[in-house]
Amino acid sequence: MSWLTALFTDTQSPAHAALIYSLVIAAGMALGRIRIRGVSLGVTFVLFTGLVASALGARVDPAVLAFIRDFGLVLFVFFIGLQVGPSFFNSFRTHNGRTLNLLTIGIILAGLFLTLLFAAVLPGLVSLPQMLGIHFGAVTNTPGLGAARDMLSELGYSGEDITIGYASAYPLGVIGAVLTVRFLRRLFRIDLAKEEAAWDATEGAKDKPVFFHVELTNKALSGRTIREIAERDYEEIVKNRVDESLDTVENVADYTKRHYEVFEFGFWTVEEKKSGSLVGVVGFRIPQDDGIRGVDYYVLSLSDKNSWNDTLEIGYHIFPEYRRKGYASEACRAVIEYAREEFGIIRFIARIGKENIVSKKMAESLGFVKTEEDPFD
């Protein structure tokens, strides 16, 4: 049974480190579920559990500690990026988003100013590196702590670990944020249910993920479906000459990736479910004047409001052997409904060649109306 004893006592053993971390995380997650007057700390309680475990003498091998700390930070930053990435770039295209970003920058600069001020006023009590740790702990900014540690290491800093200041301030930062939010809610008499409903009715729908799966409901199109474009579709798109700029597999891949990263949507494939054969593509893009002339403009307005911010350009390309079978109108109808429900888009533009009578009739069947005005003038 010596292995069992070593598991709890050998601080140099990776197994001991795994046991300590498992117990601390499990205890923190369990305690984080406890609600006190409607408030729970959730995963944050793991930090408090770690502080208690350390105070009681729990120790792990420094090499294992450094690895777990850095690896955990990498995972934390990675998943935060996955979570906020879709709405981050989109926020720069809205007035509210730009305002919030400016306020965020202001808050960051104010915190940095206070940190430098306290370091200057209390030079003999707290060093600047420790003030950085306190700063990042007070704002619960774990990635900032990692960046500060790396910077100090590159500068040759060998003093006390700034994690101490971070760990000291973090609990107060969490509790202070909770108390501040509750105080402001009472002070301004904020009804969270009404605020959430108002957000969902205006901006909230625009920030929802764009990944979706729409199945066509037209009985004549039974077995057809719309799905996101995949790598296996690239060669088919090139072969069918969907667009002059999409003349190589590389160009198709670059366009698809760039469009989704910047605009959070692109275009989708229409395929036959049984065989997996592609019927064509359909999708949107942000309206832009790319010099195309010799076309007629068609507009579909779902509201009296004609905001350019709520406008998308729709496009489609059905492969020759599948044309004039209703696939284009059904696919366009499906994605228009999706854009209206998910993004709040109320206006669509279509550019159609002057001689393309079939596409003009199809657009008119969807409610598009020809306009003599050039939207880009």
Q: What is the mean pLDDT of residues 293-302?
A: 82
C-alpha to C-alpha distance for 186 and 197, rounded to whole angstroms: 19
Q: Do the beta carbons of residue 331 and residue 270 sit within 8 Å?
A: yes
Residue 203 has what pLDDT?
55
pLDDT classification of 188: cutoffs 50, 70, 90: confident
Bridge partners of residue 39, in order along the sequence: 36
pLDDT, tens only, 216-244: 454 444 444 555 555 556 566 666 555 65
Average pLDDT score, the chain: 76
pLDDT classification of 211: cutoffs 50, 70, 90: very low
pLDDT, tens only, 238-291: 665 556 555 565 666 666 655 554 445 566 777 766 666 777 777 777 777 766
pLDDT, tens only, 55-94: 888 888 888 888 888 888 888 888 888 777 766 766 666 6
pLDDT, tens only, 317-335: 777 777 777 778 888 888 8
Residue 53 has what pLDDT?
87
pLDDT, tens only, 2-60: 777 777 778 888 888 888 889 999 998 888 888 877 677 778 788 888 888 888 888 88
Residue 235 has what pLDDT?
64
Judged against a pLDDT cut of 70, whether residue 363 lies above it is answered with: yes
C-alpha to C-alpha distance for 49 and 41, rounded to whole angstroms: 12
Q: Do the beta carbons of residue 98 and residue 91 sit within 8 Å?
A: yes
pLDDT classification of 207: cutoffs 50, 70, 90: very low
DSSP structural state of residue 242: -
Judged against a pLDDT cut of 60, whether residue 316 lies above it is answered with: yes
Residue 83 has what pLDDT?
74
CATH of domain 208-371: 3.40.630.30
DSSP structural state of residue 141: -
Task: Give me the amino acid identity at 162.
Answer: I
Q: What is the mean pLDDT of residues 132-136?
A: 87
Residue 102 has what pLDDT?
87
> SS3 of 358, please?
helix
Residue ranges per domain, the chain? 61-201, 208-371
Q: What is the dihedral of CA 74, 77, 81, 83, to 10 degrees?
A: 110
Sequence-separated (6 or more) residues with CB below 8 Å from residue 361 = none
- With b for 16 or more beta-carbon neighbours within 10 A and e for fewer, the 310-346 pattern comes to bbbbbbbbbbeebeeebbbbbbbbbbbebbbebbbbb
Q: Crossing angle, helix 95-121 and helix 128-138, to 10 degrees?
A: 140
| Cα–chain center distance at 136 | 23
Residue 200 has what pLDDT?
64
